[in-house]
Amino acid sequence: MGAREANFDGLIGPTHNYGGLSQGNLASSRHAGLISSPRGAALQGLEKMAAMHAAGLWQGILPPQQRPYLPALHQMGFTGSDAQIFAAAWEKAPRLMRNLMSASSMWAANAATISPSADCADGKLHFTPANLSTMLHRSIEHEQTGRSLSRAFPFAAVHRALPEQSVFADEGAANHVRLCGARGDQGVELLVYGRDGYDSARAGYPARQTVQASRAIARSHGLDPARTVFALQSDAAIDAGAFHNDVVCVGAMQTLFYHELAFADTEVMKTDIRAAAKGVFEPIFVEVASAEVPMADAIKAYLFNSMLVQMPGEDRLTLIAPLETQENVATRQFCDVLTAGNGPIGTVKFVDVRQSMQNGGGPACLRLRVTLTEAEWADVHDGNRFTPALHRDLKAWVNTHYRESLAPDDIRDPAIMTESFAALDALTKIMDLGDDFYPFQRG
Ligand code: SUG
């Protein structure tokens, strides 16, 4: 049975703003306090999805989450009506509220780690929602993510997130790459981590993924240990701003494309992948030297936070990069050389996702890759499948419900809550998610 890779993009929510919430994510810190455009952001995201769909790829969509996340406020002792809670929480705990207003679930690459059915012992598709426990504003995502994935993939095994504890800190597919010969064959799963969870916190920026989390996921997905590789990120990469491995590495089919400083020990990583792929496929490594693209340029321009996709009918892969990669001299020149050669990446296309980029989320962050058989794709919930009709409905919905701009203090306005809930309520009808999908709908 033919299998293909689908991209499920996170639809950008109505409270998209620049909160400066992610230490170690240089773009988030640099753009803190800027005026955002929720409408512009959501439309940019939809355009990317439309372009991928038009190119013949399987494209899916995941709904935004409810913000503010009232269940967390209930848990922290705020009581009364939603409006009373909103006002009291802004007065008593404004930093908490900034976290609970973030639209960060747009970065679907962090939603979960996925293993396709061909890799799992029970022959099922497995998801583990990421606990995202390192960052407060992201740690509130996993419960709703689990609900969302169960709705979209009713046939899959959707696990509980790992314990919300530093030893099991997990950031999902942003630290996971699957390499393979053919999509429907068993592949090699590469799980990248930044620290041993039992060690005390490292100096410098936080390492958000532990080896304990990666190993627990490999076990519960039933991965074949012989075809599973664990690799440590380098300190140099984390401290240069690679808060997730997908800021400096991306892979597809047999090809792994990465910066030479991405991993603590590149030779060990390559040897382990070759051993795991033995007898199934021959891995291809495209390693980019600092002399070609300095790490600082790679991170600023997000060269590696691109989608590496196999376009229908094309032999070589296509890199879907952000406009910032085209604007940076070092990364643009590198792309020219890359595509002029005869390596596995034949084309680079640029997309405008600047609203997300300013928070450190490139084209690859905005999508969750899910390798599916044709039968599985047919069983995906219809409302989560991107079509031109859904695109049209969502564009109209965004234009009706989203603000054109949001200044940092606008998220204190009680109207932003009522507007957002009205928008999400309407969305559950458009995407046929049911009237109990969001916490505010469940009362
Ligand atoms: O977790 N930014 C996100 C960006 C996630 C990018 N995802 C991947 N690399 N796959 C993060 O740091 C910033 C929010 C703010 O500052 O308002 C933020 O959460």
Q: What is the pLDDT of residue 202?
A: 84
Q: How far apart are CA 217 and CA 314, in angstroms?
A: 33
- Ligand 1 neighbourhood includes 21 CB (under 6 angstroms): yes
Per-residue pLDDT, averaged over 14-19, amounts to 98
- Of 28-42, 118-132, 197-211, 314-328, which range is least confident? 197-211
Tell me how far apart the alpha carbons of residues 183 and 56 are, in angstroms, rounded to a whole number.
Answer: 16
Residue 1's pLDDT is: 54
Query: Residue 200: its pLDDT value, please?
Result: 84
How many residues are present in the chain?
443
202 by Cβ neighbours in 10 Å (0-12 / 13-18 / 19+) ranks as middle
Within 247-369, residue ranges assigned H as helices are 266-277, 295-301, 323-327, 329-340, 354-357
pLDDT attached to residue 263: 98
pLDDT, tens digit (0-9, with 9 covering 90-100), for 45-67 = 999 999 999 999 999 999 999 99
For residue 360 and ligand 1, the question of a CB distance below 6 A is answered with: yes
Question: Which residue from 213, 225, 292, 227 is spatially nearest to 257, judged by alpha carbons?
Answer: 292
Give the start-end residues of each E strand in 224-363.
228-232, 249-252, 255-259, 284-288, 307-309, 317-322, 345-351
- Yes or no: domain 3-67+102-442 corresponds to CATH 3.20.20.140: no
Rounded to the nearest angstrom, the gap between the alpha carbon of residue 376 and the centroid of all alpha carbons in its chain is 21
Name residue 303's amino acid.
L
Q: In what order do the strands lie in the sheet with 284-288?
A: 249-252, 255-259, 284-288
Q: Are the C-beta atoms of 375 and 117 separated by less than 8 Å? A: no
CA 210 to ligand 1 center in whole angstroms: 18
The closest alpha carbon to 371, from 24, 27, 43, 58, belongs to 58
213-231 confidence digits (pLDDT tens): 999 999 999 999 999 999 9
Distance between alpha carbon 324 and the CA centroid of its chain, in Å? Answer: 18
| Strand pairing report for 3-10 and 367-373 | antiparallel
Residues 6 or more apart whose CB falls under 8 angstroms from that of 173 comprise 109, 110, 111, 112, 113, 114, 130, 246, 368, 369
Stretch 356-373: mean pLDDT = 98
Residue 84 phi, psi dihedral angles, 5° rounding: -65, -40
Residue whose C-alpha is closest to residue 17's, from 75, 88, 104: 104
pLDDT at res. 119:
98
For residue 2, the model assigns a pLDDT of: 87
Average pLDDT of the chain, as a whole number = 97
pLDDT in tens, 105-147: 999 999 999 999 999 999 999 999 999 999 999 999 999 999 9
Atom of ligand 1 nearest to the CA of 360: 4
Atom of ligand 1 nearest to the CA of 132: 1
Residue 19 Cβ inside 6 Å of ligand 1? The answer reads yes
pLDDT of 323: 98
Asked if 360 contacts 24 with a C-beta cutoff of 8 angstroms, the reply is no
Residue 83, φ and ψ in degrees, nearest 5: -65, -40
3-state class (DSSP) for residue 4: strand
pLDDT value at position 306? 98
Q: At what angle do helices 414-430 and 82-92 cross, to 10 degrees?
A: 130
Residue with the nearest Cα to atom 6 of ligand 1? 361
What average pLDDT score do residues 257-275 get? 98
Whether 67 is in the pocket of ligand 1, judged by its Cβ within 6 Å, is no
